[in-house]
Structure 1
Amino acid sequence: MKVAEIKVSYSSKNMEKIKITSSQSVYNLVLSNWDLNIIEFQEEVKVVLLNRANIVLGIYEMSKGGISGTVVDLRIILAVALKCSASGIVLIHNHPSGNLEPSDVDKQLTTKLKEACKLLDLVLLDHLIISKEGYYSFSDNDIL
């Protein structure tokens, strides 16, 4: 009887070592890796994966949705973090409307992800809501 073989891979060849020191440094990094033509049109979710020294391992493009929402599957976020041996993660998404205030859904998602990370010895360092003009940091606003 044949079953599918599972392969896990992660590659970081010749990548620049970027250290995250603040929410501003995360914002600058993701904004430079975001399609600015879409940021005000389509909601996207990305995850910055970090090692124990807060060096960026990579950015995972979680999902692209519509004007007012997108799917965030916590299991996929956690699987990707484990796959690349991340110690910490930062969740980032944009609000195409430009409104940086977190919704109730944003707050619930953050709480749920933080609890799930604890079970796997991962740290949810922050959740940023971004636009071209600025960002909202859950960590900076003491709601993480």
Structure 2
Amino acid sequence: MEQLTLQHLFKVNEVEIVYRNKIPYQDRLQITSSSTAYEILLASWDENRLELVEQFKILLLDQKNNCLAVSGISSGSISSCTADPKIIFATALKVGASAIILAHNHPSGNLQPSEADKSLTRKLKEGGKLLDIAVLDHLIITPRSYCSFADDGLMPS
């Protein structure tokens, strides 16, 4: 094995975590219902892609459920989209979120959650517990309506 010289020791990548919230606290929208979350998500979605490809986003919330940001996590195909838990929680940790709301669209217009949707929700809920980040809801959205896992009793405990 090659002996590391002092010069080689300094050839290591650095990571810097930066987050700037440009919206004053008093101007942040508070999420008090799934319908509020849906309206925020729908306004942030590219309407030209809503019925074209499946996309996954998260709402990042502070301790009082004020919305810190909406973050696009991934974009997929007509019938699927990969939501990587590492990216989801890295994003939540970066902004100091206390809670998140998961969301993805169904281009087909079908609001029924699939088994994959339910499984992902369980996985993320468990991951959130380890990080003290509450996963409050998972919305499936279309241009006309939405399904809320929390409202429909589908959120894992």
1:34-91 deviations in Å (ceiling 9; x for gaps): 1111100011000000000000010111001111111110011111111111000000
Scaled by the length of structure 2, what TM-score is found?
A: 0.89
Aligned positions, number: 144
Structure ranking higher in helix proportion: 2
Supply the distance in 1 between the matched residues of 2:114 and 2:17 (Cα, whole angstroms): 35
Q: Which one has a bigger Cα radius of gyration?
A: 2
Partner of 1:11: 20
What 5-or-longer segments of structure 2 have no aligned partner? 1-8
TM-score between both structures, scaled by the size of structure 1:
0.97
Q: Deviations over 1:99-124 (max 9, x none)?
A: 00000000000000001100111100
Shift of 1:140: 0.3
Could you list the structure 1 runs, at least 4 aligned residues long, displaced by more than 3 angstroms after superposition.
none
The aligned amino acid for 1:88 is A
RMSD: 0.9
Gaps in structure 1 of 5+ consecutive residues: none
